[in-house]
A and B are shown apart, each in its own frame.
Chain A
Amino acid sequence: TQLLEQSPQFLSIQEGENLTVYCNSSSVFSSLQWYRQEPGEGPVLLVTVVTGGEVKKLKRLTFQFGDARKDSSLHITAAQPGDTGLYLCAGFLNAGGTSYGKLTFGQGTILTVHP
């Protein structure tokens, strides 16, 4: 069972369309991050959200952290072919023990934007 459930797993859209990727959990996270990974490269951090209800914007990308800090979404407006890649949500659990210092990743969303 995945601690962070991402949906959809695959997304294929045309240039100019809008899309939303969801990241859900039954656990509370102290912070949640979104990364983007391109083929042959490691993931690159896009944003960190730490406060319940927080909304951050990065150009055409809007990130939201749920009020209860258990879920997050990534919305892309007017997608472009350059947005193509693997999008990963990841979070630090609001707990110690075996979760200490461990960034837990969702299974990722492969986005393809066609010209």
Chain B
Amino acid sequence: EAGVTQSPTHLIKTRGQQATLRCSPISGHTSVYWYQQALGLGLQFLLWYDEGEERNRGNFPPRFSGRQFPNYSSELNVNALELEDSALYLCASSRSPGTASYYGYTFGSGTRLTVV
């Protein structure tokens, strides 16, 4: 079974540009979650999509947005990039919101975004 795949693995952008990050969940998983991890420490919740709808978002400005496609894949868009947006962006999936509370999330390896 293929795991959660993210692309690209690395992305270098200039301040003010836009970045698009992509995620394919595990087959059969309908929920996709996005997290930001700075400095190799704790994860900050960004967005949660389930069945094509945004279910919850974290305390991030509106220039962080995304969507989920009919095949449950998802993309995260970051507009007007700032230097402090440099981080590892992790995508995770779960079979459904209810199962995540016991079976947890399955994470991808992340996209390392560097803003210069």
Check: B63 CB closer than 8 A to any chain A CB.
Answer: no
Interface size on B, residues (CB 8 A): 29
- Report how far A6 CA is from B18 CA in the complex, Å: 34
Total residue contacts A-B, CB cutoff 8 A: 74
Excluding A35-B104, A105-B45, 4 further A-B contacts by CB distance (< 8 Å) are A86-B40, A101-B100, A102-B58, A103-B33
Given contacts A42-B109, A103-B33, contact A98 B90 (CB under 8 A): no
Interface size on A, residues (CB 8 A): 31
Interface residues of A (CB under 8 A from B): 2, 6, 9, 30-31, 33, 35, 39-45, 48, 50, 86, 88, 90, 92, 98, 100-108, 110
Decide if B109 touches A100 in the complex (CB within 8 Å).
no
Within 8 A of A (CB), among B56-113: 56, 58, 90, 92, 97, 100-110
Residues of B within 8 Å of A2, CB to CB, are: 42
CB closest chain-A residue, reference B48: A101
